[in-house]
Amino acid sequence: MNDYEKWNHLKQSLNSDNNREVFFKERELWWCSTGYNIGSEQNGKNKDFERPVLIIRKLSKEKFIGVPQTTKESGNPAHRYQYQTKDGLRYLLGDQIRTFSSKRLLRKQAKLSKENFLGVKMKVLLMLVDH
């Protein structure tokens, strides 16, 4: 079975789970099933096709706007927000911002400081209005 087929099975399973309620807030970083994507979209890793995603805006109890995170420094610095954790540097991928279903959330990882969160929001805002 190829990765697209594996992701499709997992996605169907996540979508059909109507009994699981997830409580999440802005500023939280969650492991999220982002999937196996196409082109230059950021893929998830491991069996759950997961990666850390920062919740930057809660839209409802079922959906939010999130920004995926990476440990890799490469890419356009204008689209990345760098911050320090106890485990090293992390980068939020502003060019990968999107709306997610809360059904994709697997487990909470951390909560960003207010200062880092404000920096992320400013970086995303500048990226969206500056062309």
pTM of the model: 0.89
**pLDDT tens per residue, the chain (131 residues)?**
788 788 888 888 888 888 888 999 999 999 999 988 777 777 888 888 899 999 999 999 999 999 999 888 877 887 888 888 888 898 988 888 999 999 999 999 999 999 989 988 888 888 788 75
What is the predicted pLDDT for the residue at 42?
79
For domain 3-129, give the CATH number.
2.30.30.110
Question: Distance from first CA to last CA of the chain, Å, rounded?
Answer: 42
Residue-range domain boundaries for the chain = 3-129
